[in-house]
Amino acid sequence: MKDSAGVRTVPVDAIAFLQDNVAWNRVSFCIQDGKILSCESRNDPAQFFVTPGFVNCHMHWLMLGEPTLEREIELMKNRPDEMIDIMVENARSTVLKGITACCDKGPPGLETHRIYQGLRTAKSCGLPVPKTLVSTWTISVDGAFASPLSRRVYSQNELEQVIRELHETGAGIMKIIPESGLRLAQFTYDWVFPEAYFAVAREMTARLGLILAIHAKGPESIGMGLKYSVDCIEHATEASVTQLKEMQGKGIYLSPTLEGLWCRLNYATSAGSGVATAAFEWGNATQMFRNAVVLNNGKPFTHFLFGSDAGSACTPHASLRELYLMRKLGLPAEDCLRAAMVNGARFMKLHGSIGQLTPGYCADMIFWRRNPLELDVADWEHLDQYIAAVMLDGNLIEP
Ligand SMILES: [Zn+2]
């Protein structure tokens, strides 16, 4: 790589996502002011393969992987400065794994402004922080999963006010938790969010340009997400084949959060508590995912996202295990990359600036020692070992 007059020339073998497949092209990128200026063909072999950065579409900066939400809140309230330091370090190590953009699916609790501010300050000081779409609060009602840690609404007027506040606080996304946690006796989740509120949320978010995502594990919540054409269904652990087909037909994205569920199961097993719930959810998630992988006559569901649930119970931020689990459960490598790059960019409505390596786009790149498409499933368990360097907005981030 050479720098001249602020222009950096990068000769690589770069991935391009085409309509039906992916291609590798020998190119030289010119990079200036954090953007790809141009992309010329070349002939000689390059040292590195390059892809766009990964987009983690379901994560929580304000959660640090404590096993329970209550411990998370305690940390936030009692040790806020320490929390900011840990979060800034998480952001740096996340970038080093190639994750250059994230969608934060809502913080626990309400005293979070200061903590988001810490992340913005780190970025303005030049520290590596992934581009992040935030949801400011998670919205729920009494009886919903994690409702004590969400912003609960009690009337339609209040809901409308919260959506206006989301918009004013710079959120790009609204995340609703409309169902209860697992009721173990019946193995069911209850839809607890009034349907009239849900209709209002869909109408207002569409009008204000906010993305609408719902936490939905049970069939009823997934059905409601389909009825109102939300933008993304999180988890979808009990989605039937029919529901998956309808999601795809409506262009609704799916964050399977396999890593989060896998980490929960591991923790439950080692702690000897909560095993039944964790095993039930993991079993459903893997079955749903395997169905989705062959949904279209053996070809996969088209709207997968990379969403690991980083920050939730025992789930690390700087990890690519979600992608390994997606591959291990049958998704081909190129579809994993598509989910983690172009699909994530489209979901976040940033497909004009990230997710592809095209002139005018952000210079967010992963430099690979080997072509990730040629690595087998076992190699994907340690995918980060093949990452030589990461570029964020044109700056090389060194380990
Ligand atoms: Zn989550």
- How many angstroms is it from 322 CA to the middle of ligand 1? 13
Residue 286 C-alpha to ligand 1 middle, in angstroms? 17
81 Cα: distance to centroid of ligand 1 (angstroms): 23
Q: Which residue in the block uniquely carries the two structure tokens 């922080």?
A: 129
Note the pLDDT of residue 277: 95
Cβ contact 281:239 at 8 Å: no
pLDDT of residue 129: 95
Q: What is the per-residue pLDDT for 136?
A: 86
**Fold exhibited by the domain 53-347:** TIM Barrel (3.20.20)
Q: State how far the Cα of 71 lies from the Cα of 207, in Å rounded to an integer.
A: 37
Helix (H, G, I), strand (E, B) or coil at 160: helix
Spacing, Cα 294 to ligand 1 middle (Å)? 26
Centre of ligand 1 to C-alpha 106, Å, is 8
The parts of the chain modelled with pLDDT lower than 70 are 1-5, 108-112
**Cα(121) to centroid of ligand 1, in Å?**
24
| Superfamily in which the 2-51+356-397 domain is placed by CATH | Urease, subunit C, domain 1 (2.30.40.10)
Which are the contacts of 155, defined by CB distance < 8 A and separation ≥ 6?
Answer: none
Is 61 buried (19+), middle (13-18) or exposed (0-12) by CB count in 10 A? Answer: buried
58 CA to middle of ligand 1, Å?
Answer: 6
**What pTM was computed for the model?**
0.95
What stretch of H or E contains 367? strand 365-368
State the distance from the centre of ligand 1 to the C-alpha of 343, rounded, in angstroms.
19
Task: Please report, for the chain, the start and end positions of each structural domain, with discontinuous segments joined by +.
Answer: 2-51+356-397, 53-347
Contact 27, 41 (CB under 8 A): yes
Cα–Cα distance for residue pair 310/103, rounded to 1 Å: 11
C-alpha radius of gyration, the chain, whole number = 21
Give per-residue pLDDT as tens, 61-80.
Answer: 988 888 887 788 888 788 87
**Ligand 1 mean position to 293 CA, how many Å?**
22
